[in-house]
Copies of this chain bind each other. A is one copy, B any other.
Amino acid sequence: MDKSHTASVLIDLSAAIVSVRGDQPVCLTVPDVSEYQTPGLPFGPFYPDRHRTMEIGLRQWVVEQTALDIGYVEQLYTFGDRGRRSEGPEGADGQNEEEHIVSVGYLALSKQCPQPDQWSEWYKHFPWEDWRNGRPNILNQQIIPYLEAWSGSDEIRRLRLQQAFGFPDRAWNDEFVLDRYELMYEAGLVWEAYADGRQKEKISAQNGIAMQLDHRRILATAMSRLRAKLKYRPVVFELMPSSFTLTQVQKTTEAILGAILHKQNFRRQLAKNELVEPTGQMSKARGRPAELFKFRQDASQSSNLPGLRIPSVNPETSRR
Contact surface of A with B, Cβ cutoff 8 Å: 2-4, 6-11, 45-54, 57, 75, 77-82, 91, 93-96, 99-100, 102, 104, 159, 162-163, 166, 170-173, 298, 301-305
Contacts and interface: CB of A to CB of B under 8 A. Distances in A.
Contact of A163 (B57, B81, B82, B303): B303
A47 B4 CA distance: 9
A46 B3 contact: no
A162 B302 CA distance: 9
Given A4-B99, A49-B100, A173-B303, A80 B94 contact: no
A4 B93 contact: yes
A78 B78 contact: yes
Given A7-B11, A7-B46, A75-B77, 19 more contacts: A3-B10, A3-B45, A3-B91, A4-B10, A4-B95, A4-B99, A6-B48, A6-B50, A7-B48, A8-B10, A8-B99, A9-B10, A52-B80, A54-B78, A54-B102, A159-B301, A162-B301, A170-B301, A173-B304
Contacts of A162: 301
Nearest to A159: B301
A78 B54 CA distance: 9
B48 A3 contact: no
What are the 8 closest A-B residue pairs judged by CB atoms, nearest first? A48-B100, A54-B80, A170-B303, A78-B78, A163-B301, A7-B45, A53-B82, A53-B80
B11 A9 contact: yes
Contacts of A95: 4
Contacts of A50: 6
